[in-house]
Amino acid sequence: MHKIIVSNSEKCVGCGICELICTVFKDKNFNPTSSRIRIVRIQPVVDIALACRLCEKPPCVAACPRNALVQSKETGIIMVNEDKCSGCKLCIEVCEFGAISLNPSKKVVSICDLCEGDPKCVKYCPTKALELTNLDRISGRHRVQRVKELTAAHMS
């Protein structure tokens, strides 16, 4: 199963360090508008970081009229061929998670590539709100939490 970056909204403080770290390592600048991970702020309660979810059948790949997006069968990562990308933004429109952005200086799309398996945003998150994991682990944690809640309710 493919790994993805998940954000714990209880730990995320919306500091934006993940966005800055991403641009430093990927674009050699401090410009969060070109980040491949984005903070979503639902004020005043929730901050959460969001990166590509590596969909099984990614609508972004299907929507690209120039075949500039290709999904790796091994990792699930969506790779962008910048020479083919025209910046038409169709992939941005169809992404259900808003995880694709247009790089403002290059005028091509940017999608998280997990930094070759060592995502810097996860590594440098000061609150440890980000995690590189897979959906099986996430659903396992949810099952355990739900069983704990049910058990606690019956024990009271």
- The full 3-state SS of 46-87, as one line of letters, equals EEEEECCCCCCCCHHHHHCCCCCEEECCCCCCEEECCCCCCC
* Structure token pair of residue 123: 């590594």
Q: CB count, 10 Å around CB of 80?
A: 21
Q: What is the pTM of this model?
A: 0.84
Which pLDDT tens digits describe the chain residue by residue (156 residues)? 789 999 998 999 999 999 999 999 999 999 999 999 999 998 777 899 999 999 999 999 999 999 999 999 999 999 999 999 999 999 999 999 999 999 988 999 999 999 999 999 999 999 999 999 987 777 777 777 888 778 887 776
Domains assigned to the chain: 3-51+112-155 (3.30.70.20), 54-96 (3.30.70.20)
22 contacts 28 by C-beta, under 8 angstroms? no
Burial of 133 (0-12, 13-18, 19+ CB in 10 A): middle
